[in-house]
Structures are given as structure tokens and as C-alpha cells.
Amino acid sequence: MGLFKGSGVAIVTPFNDDLSVNYEKFIELLQFHLENGTDAIIVSGTTGESPTISDDEKLKLFKIAVKEIDGKIPVIAGTGSNDTAHSIRLSKAAELTGVDGLLLVTPYYNKSTQEGLIRHFTAIADEVDIPCILYNVPGRTGMNILPSTVEKLSKHKNISAVKEASGNIAQIVEVARLIPEDFYLYSGNDDHIVPVLSVGGHGVISVIANILPKETHDMVEAFLNGDTKKAANLQLLTKPITDAVFMEVNPIPIKAAMNLMGMSVGSLRMPLIEMSEPGQVLLKEEMKKIGLL
């Protein structure tokens, strides 16, 4: 059974001027999402700059999110790693903070065989008692989870969903065909929300929801309630701003957009750097068109 239906935000990690985590601002962002219909909070994913956030910082963010959300919507902790033992340690520690589930990215750099993936995810899921979401994002990791591998992993009692960010619709359709009915499929791409829902998907883990939480929630809700026309219209309406938010490496543009909106989420930790001037010009244009500026 998946953790949520709807729009889960891959929330940014806000920083102070010295690039320490701005926990006060993080609380503000959590409240913003509660007020705007977001259906789940994903902390310390790609958009949360997980590679440069320490384990201690992650655990503090998880604790704060659990306390502030107070059971209203699920809080999901990004605890994946390319080191299985490290991921197990972090996942167990995250579980103790009270999070509702875990997001587990595929191993990156060292990668794995498909059998290695099965053992990696099984080893982590065996050590916890909360739902785990597989995270397939080969453009980032160089590692693709094949549909047949997802099918095998879906049999584990603690592996309940997959975030599919391969961008390969044919593969996503095959995943949808193979998984059991109670195993949830989430779009990992904001421009594929309606296409993934159309083959039985349950929602999205979204970047664009950081600035368009209500629209992203409404898109999924409309589709799941049978209003496919409204859902498609929202998908098409948000396509240009989605393209703008991915014109440079995520989360560079989304943080730029949030700062332009006065949300004061700060800069990024290296090797991520500020958005280029030409990129900011294009981003501002699209933000104005959709009424964000």
C-alpha cells in the first residue's frame, strides 16, 4: 500500500547566508504546504540537496517535519545511498524520528546489477518497519531499475511504491502492467504527471509543487476524481514553467524561483551554484506568464 495519493513535494532545503540549514525557514515551508493542499512532504531528496546534507542535518530535518506536520499528511525521508550499510543505518535512524516512509534512490557511481539492486533494497527494507519507495532516476544515477526488478521488489512487505523518473513512458507503462494493485506508482517528472496517472499512477513526487503546490495537488485530484480534462489543462498550463524550472540542474532553478517570489530559501551548497543570468531572465518571463511574479 502506497503512502499517499496526490502531490508529494520534494521540498527544498533552505539555507542561511553561511549555508547552514535554515530550520526556521524550513518550518515556514512546511506550513505553506499544509495550507496549500500538498499531500505529502519528501525531505532530503534530490531537490533537498541530499548529497551535501549531513546525516545529522537530515535527521534534524526529519524530526522537525514530523513535529510540524503532526500526522496531517505523510512525511517521507530520503535515506537512499550507494552504500547499502550506510543507507540501512540512516533508514533505521530516520524511522526512529517518526517519519511515515522512506525514499530510496538506486545506488549511483558504483551502480549495481539488477540482482544487486534486489539485494540492496531488500537489505534496507528488511531492517525497517515502515513503507519504502523505490526511486528510479537513471539520468542522475546511471542506474535503471528494470520493470521486472520492480515487480520482484514489489513482493516485499515493506516496499510499497516506486517513484519513476526515468522519463521513459514505455518503461513506466510496463512497470504499471507488472506491479500489484496495492503497489503505488508515482511520477518523478512534473511534465509526466497526467500520462503516468493515465496508466494507473497514484500521484507525483514533485519539484514544481515548491512554487505551485495547489495547482499540482489539483491536477492529481482532478484526474483521480474523473475530471481528466481539468487535469490535462493543468498539465499543459504548467508545462512552460516546468521546462523553465529544469533548464539548469535541479534544484538550481526552483530555488531561484522561490527567492524571486520572496520565499528566501537561500543559495545552494557547492558543487551546485546560482542560476545563470540568462536562465534567470527566462525563468522570470515564465513566472510572470503564470502569475507567480
Report how far residue 35's alpha carbon sits from residue 29's, in angstroms, rounded to the nearest whole number.
Answer: 10
* This prediction's pTM: 0.97
Taking residues 82-103, report their average pLDDT: 98
Residues in CB range of 142: below 8 A, 6 or more apart: 108, 109, 111
Q: What is the mean pLDDT of the chain?
A: 97
Q: Which of 135, 152, 184, 255 is catalytic?
A: 135
Cα–Cα distance list, 257 to 23, 48, 293 (Å)? 20, 15, 9
Cα torsion for 68, 74, 80, 85, to the nearest 10°?
Answer: 80
Residue 2 has pLDDT above 80, yes or no: no
Each domain of the chain, given as residue ranges in start order, spans: 6-227
The verdict on whether 135 is a catalytic residue reads yes
Among the options 25, 58, 152, 163, which is catalytic?
163
Which pLDDT value is given to residue 1? 55
The amino acid that residue 201 corresponds to is G
The reply to whether 184 belongs to the active site is: no
Residue 98 pLDDT greater than 60, yes or no: yes
Q: How confident is the model at residue 104 (pLDDT cuts 50, 70, 90)?
A: very high
Q: Tens digit of pLDDT for each residue in 214-260?
A: 999 999 999 999 999 999 999 999 999 999 999 999 999 999 999 99
Distance CA 174, CA 145 (A): 12
Provide the percentage of residues in the chain whose pLDDT is more than 70. Answer: 99
Residues 253 and 110: their CA atoms lie apart, in Å, by 28
Give the pLDDT band (50/70/90) at residue 3: confident
Place of cell 549555508: 19
Which residues are CB-contacts of 36 (< 8 A; sequence separation ≥ 6)? 213, 214, 217
CATH tag, 6-227: 3.20.20.70
